[in-house]
Structure 1
Amino acid sequence: MPEDFESLYWGVVRARTVEDLRASALALLKGVTRLHARMWDQFADKPAPSYENLRGTYEELWCNYRNKVLASTASGDAAYALHSALGAQNFLDEMAEDRGTPCFDLLKDFDAENLAPFRDAFLRAMEAYLKEYDRVGRKVERFETLEDLRVRYLGNVIL
């Protein structure tokens, strides 16, 4: 049970206003979230990056987010940059949890009025992620043409 569960629970039950209910429910949710994080750290088997489990992940980060981040920050489009930041952050969080890669916090550098620090943080995260590839001996897959890519992933399938 979360610390102070009983008082948090009764805070929800005894709330007299919508504002009190929201505040009490949020406090209870935060307590449960802290408990989950503590138990996860204590009991979950944590994966380690490996040659196999990193396959294609850097390429996915590059293809799905790099150009979006660069384009949105260059044009000053804060909404597009935020959308890209959230997608990239979600991807990096998933890789950290499922593949054991380092954790990155891109959003701490996000400022809608000044997008350059976010762009730079994203590019640093990509460099660090690439070092994970190097560490496990994996090379980035690169294709000179779309035909090379098609053959690699679809073989002799004719489109």
Structure 2
Amino acid sequence: MSFANACLHEKIGQVRMDVCEAILSLLDAIMLYHGTYFKRGIKRTFEELSQFPLDGKFSEGIRKISESKDVTELRSLAKSLILYAENYTSKVTEKAIPTKESLSGTYEEMYSNWRNKVEEAAVNNDTYSSFVNMCCLQYMISDVSADVNIGTYDIMEAYNPDCPEDNVRIYDEFLADYEKIYKEAGIAVNRFSDVDKFYGAYVGEDDL
């Protein structure tokens, strides 16, 4: 939030306060990552950081912020610090292999939630709807791939703002690839001839 504020504010005094808040949050995050906290006061900050395998550019970036007289430079330095700290504190975890238990129902959800909306957006030349629904697909892909090794899919890199029809193709190509992952995991895609059968399968026949 502090970095977002630094990008929104224009007066250098306020931006300095925003990036200072960002720095303090990053420093706390690094300490917590190592299971400790600062014990010796602000003037000993860099001494305490030296016990960790941090790139020297991190401390250098903090010093440059304290010396900066330019709003654009302050934002750029803060961004670099945030990206470095995010990478530094990221824990690499081994992802699970695709299984029926981990993936069952995800293809159907990806299809039923947004696929036809993307097609409708193409028919209506509705770029906004196409954009939002493609992003929703990407959110779900990212959520699934965070825990399960389904590969990397950057739908929004391929997204075409000039041609909503092309986004239908992109969506379908992903679904075709994802169905292969389904099959490798021993899962058959559930397909329904009409909406009532789909609703009955996922909500319950008694609710029809």
TM class by smaller structure: 0.7 to 0.9
Aligned equivalent of 1:22: 75
Unaligned runs of 5+ in 1: none
Matches within 5 A, 1:88-99: 88-99=137-148
Deviations 1:75-95 (A, max 9, x none): 221111111121111111111
User: Residue 7 of structure 1 is aligned with which of 49, 52, 60?
Assistant: 60
Q: Distance in 1 between matches of 2:128 and 2:103?
A: 30
- Runs of 4+ in structure 1 over 6 Å off: none
TM-score normalised per structure 2: 0.65
Query: Equivalent residue of 1:63, what SS?
Result: helix
Q: Distance in 1 between matches of 2:131 and 2:95?
A: 29
Deviations 1:99-144 (A, max 9, x none): 2212111112223223344332221111000111111111112334
- Give the conservation status (yes or no) of the 8 Å contact 1:2–1:32: no
User: Is residue 2:86 matched to residue 1:33?
Assistant: yes
Instruction: State the 1:31 CA deviation.
Output: 1.6
| C-alpha distance 117-10 of structure 1, shift in aligned 2 (>3 A) | farther
- The sequence identity of aligned pairs, in percent, is 22
Unaligned runs of 5+ in 2: 1-52
Greater mean alpha carbon deviation, residues 93-102 or residues 61-70: 93-102
Higher relative contact order (CA 8 A, sep 6+): 1
Amino acid at match of 1:69: V
Give the greater-gyration-radius structure (CA).
Answer: 2
In the alignment of these two chains, the number of paired residues is 155
